[in-house]
Structure 1
């Protein structure tokens, strides 16, 4: 599965993009002596959602041990709690994805009290300095915030002698994160506070797994008020490009249409209009044509090819040569080939210039290298210089732990060929009558396509009346666009207030 599972919060490594980590950074770290958890606090204030808030910022380490008391993992959390403490306030636990991504993206880009200022219009973030600004779109006016860096991400690490298999996997990672959440709730006296859980990209996968851990424990159940999913990936069959898997082409087509529309290669009154046209074509005539395989009649092929060309902006000759099946890397390269440009995977608004224009796929993802340096500088500056966290470790914004990931759902689940964690969200909603789900998607995100998220969450077993979908005019990290950061913040704020 590793060929399609890197849909990070920043979607890990894409195409030929190098990882932002040294090769040794995800290995267990030496621990000759007992580790004393580091905790640093600062009393700060800011205006969020139009409300002035005094708050305590705390960056600290939580140490997880085995059954014999051996220290195995050091997990770093950064929390922002309104002062004076109010246990009736909601608390929102969140993380990014990868797997292997630190929480820098949501913390310094969307919901934390500070944010890094990078271009909002899909231009490269350039060179430092990158301004670190007050973030009026932070959610601190409606909830206390806890950002979690799971094992192997951010400043979190495994100690010497710890088997990575105990922490690097669907189940193992979820158990560790759930344990950190329970510890935080207990240490801060927040058992009866309203609780929200969420993440971005693989962080939405993690959310499905963690909610199973939190609400599935008979003797230590943690009830949740809401799940907040940003750039959702729950059904991984959509990203599997194995020949013969036609659903990946169906799920990705609406994204191709919105990208073509944005770059002037397809025509429609609005992005919403072309998205709906593409949805209906994808799930209807296009899916039917693909499923017929070589039995597809010539007349039907001709009609489907023409509509596919209209929606994607690609020539009928190209589509004919591709047997009506366009892989995403080919699309990134082909859409603007006549302009000598490629488009981004994380955010199709971004364009890049390859070494030459003859290749079949892009050299790299312009929407990845267009933002990474600014975020890395921001989290290191904030954590080390402003909050006083002391460490010689490098912050792993995108680490390599995903290469060691165990994608098994565990005993009783045979997911060797098909991974879908959406049923865990449905189960939690059916067993908790007040649990609601908020889903945010960018129109131009190919890492976690919006149609795939819709398909995953609209299947049988998920109560639709407690499910909210919102869409934004950017990509995977819609908050890099100023207007969408404000809109996302307002939408999540309303979701929390409406409990």
Structure 2
């Protein structure tokens, strides 16, 4: 039987445990350095292979050698490769800014992908399945999460104090700060994993294209790390301006693709294949639409009427809607207007996805149907996958989108930096991948960016474009998952120079 003293002691121990538990919970933090390695098997394009997945955190250091943040990453390596010097390494980034690497990690290039249907819509039970088209057969891949995305976090200083919001912005949250610290981090990663002699590639999606375009030059000029390729998936403008008539007119091919998909074009256009339609609309955009918009309010009534009719024909919108917009149709209006009579709205990042608004009136959708669908399937899958299959366990919240704003967008010269990196490095090639139904970073803008990237035209043989019948994340559609990975595979294999082939320009 317990005496009063024993009861009191037991009570005090219980209180102490509870206090300790709450103290730990209050100070929940990610480890600056951590590492978990798991072994796996898979089958890609009908061939079996073994690989390891290294999941962990690696610090970001300042000039004083102090850890200021830690980045969460997942690194996949094929295990039957004897010579790493010939094995390509892909360094993968998503965008936002503020987005985790989840999207391309468990839907595009990685060995495991979402449980979704063939068009990319979520299905239950949530989780992942084998990616039979992953590029892991030809290259190792590291998926990197910038500060405040996934489990990556800012760290307190030696005094236990967190940097102020302004200090964090200066250190991490801007076009150039982002590029600078990530280049340093990649240097450490490549050194630790002994990959300096490997052919190296960067791949970025959406805002990640700004990131990797800037990194190409930063890695060359500050880290002395030279690349074989940069892949821009659904690229932004990367600092190459598209304003006025060009910005407005460049939307038309995307409008035409979307209208074709939803059977809203005239019968003669609808009966053609999408590629035939887009070839016609692109020619009209360059040859007629941009010059007409350049005339502004001084365009003649006769010419305006002709353009109104053509734009209506190619966009699927009424002539009244086109005329009332003064030939300049905003994306928001298009997403609301095209299926207004059916009570549906279009997705921004993928116009195949449909939404339902409270009212049919208005000039923009209430929400983005595609993004809610993606979060529906990606969020449970990545949380489950990392913890159960990769065996990385933490109580830190996985940030699909993290707090990184306000983002400093000043001095964005990333496109010019990519051009200069290509000029300095004859080995460096660029592949652009876009979905025809992406309205946020439309495919024709991507083509325009490619055309403007190198005004000299002397490097155009090292620039290539691939389009797909889907949206921003073209790989969600099963057919395009296969096609886009194969395009990546061919790009990687085709940009590894032959033995003893020098990096030089021939006269």
Deviations 1:104-127 (A, max 9, x none): 00010011111112123364x26x
Distance 1:288 1:420 in 2: 27
Match of 2:492 among 474, 491, 496: 496
When residues 286 and 30 of structure 1 are mapped into structure 2, their CA distance, relative to the original with a 3 A threshold, is: farther
Name the counterpart of 2:45.
49
User: Which segment drifts farther, 390-399 or 318-327?
Assistant: 390-399
Name the counterpart of 2:344.
341
When residues 315 and 32 of structure 1 are mapped into structure 2, their CA distance, relative to the original with a 3 A threshold, is: closer
Deviations 1:160-190 (A, max 9, x none): 3232120111111111221221111101111
Deviations 1:21-65 (A, max 9, x none): xxxxxxxx9989995511111011111233322111001111112
Match of 1:112 among 110, 113, 118: 110
User: Any idea what SS the aligned residue of 2:91 has?
Assistant: strand
Deviation at 1:70, TM superposition (A): 2.8
Contact map agreement 2:147 2:153 (CA 8 A) in 1: yes
Distance 2:291 2:126 in 1: 49
User: Any idea what SS the aligned residue of 2:328 has?
Assistant: coil
Distance 1:196 1:461 in 2: 24
Distance 1:41 1:66 in 2: 28
Match of 1:67 among 57, 63, 75: 63
Report the TM-score, using the length of structure 1 for normalisation.
0.87
Deviation at 1:67, TM superposition (A): 2.4
Deviation at 1:330, TM superposition (A): 0.4
Contact map agreement 2:249 2:328 (CA 8 A) in 1: no
Unaligned runs of 5+ in 2: 1-24, 157-161, 496-507
Name the counterpart of 1:174.
179
Deviations 1:440-492 (A, max 9, x none): 11010011111111111112046110112111110000111000000011111
Deviations 1:245-266 (A, max 9, x none): 3322112111011101111112
User: Which segment drifts farther, 448-457 or 328-337?
Assistant: 448-457
Name the counterpart of 2:473.
477
Structure number with higher helix proportion: 2
Name the counterpart of 1:421.
414
Deviation at 1:284, TM superposition (A): 2.3
- Greater RCO structure (CA 8 Å; 6+ sep): 1
Distance 2:29 2:109 in 1: 36
Match of 1:141 among 137, 142, 162: 137
Unaligned runs of 5+ in 1: 1-28, 410-418
User: Any idea what SS the aligned residue of 1:404 has?
Assistant: coil
Name the counterpart of 1:274.
277
Tell whether 2:211 aligns with 1:206. yes
Deviations 1:61-99 (A, max 9, x none): 111122233321110110001114531211111011100
Name the counterpart of 1:364.
367
User: Any idea what SS the aligned residue of 2:37 has?
Assistant: strand
When residues 157 and 133 of structure 1 are mapped into structure 2, their CA distance, relative to the original with a 3 A threshold, is: same
Distance 1:122 1:115 in 2: 11
Tell whether 2:168 aligns with 1:164. yes
Distance 1:51 1:421 in 2: 39
Deviations 1:257-297 (A, max 9, x none): 11011111122412112222222222222111111111110
Contact map agreement 1:347 1:367 (CA 8 A) in 2: yes
Tell whether 2:257 aligns with 1:258. yes
When residues 151 and 104 of structure 1 are mapped into structure 2, their CA distance, relative to the original with a 3 A threshold, is: same
Contact map agreement 2:28 2:396 (CA 8 A) in 1: no
